[in-house]
Amino acid sequence: MSAAMSVRGTPYRWGGESPGGFDCSGLVVWSFRQAGRGGLPHSSRALVGMGRRISVGQLVPGDLVAYGSPVHHIGIYIGGGQYVHAPHTGDVVKVWVEGIGTGGRVFGLGGGRGEVGGHGGAELWGRVSGLAGGGRVDAGAV
């Protein structure tokens, strides 16, 4: 997560995938590229399509946290119920500190559904193969 955390304060830029500006999936793609995992799609929906369902209790730093139905936003879990993300136009890359689990529906990355908490709408948590703390990438470097 050091790559993503190192660009906190960078302005949101739709389609952005560099320290000059990031959108949500661009931040994920850039961060994992810095950790040696290139070739990821610059699309929250496509990233979600690579994943599998996990429970909130299984989240480890480096997992991806996405939400929306259809999926429209994604960030990188950093632990403690927080994730780093590029929220929207007019905002900057920052850590969501209000926790995960305050209401909403959870959808697994593999398309499964379950009722659990989420913040402000349809939430989706999941591990994308090879991207999480237990995968091929050092989660601390993401």
Catalytic site positions: 24, 73, 85
Count the Cβ atoms, other than its own, within 10 Å of residue 32.
25
User: Using CA atoms in the order 133, 85, 28, 22, what is the torsion angle rounded to 10 degrees?
Assistant: -160
Residue (of 81, 84, 76, 70) closest to 118 by Cα position: 81
Cα–Cα distance measured from residue 126 to residue 5, given in angstroms and rounded to the nearest whole number:
20
- Whether the ω angle into residue 70 lies within 30 degrees of 0, i.e. cis, is yes
Beta bridge partners of residue 77, listed in sequence order: 83
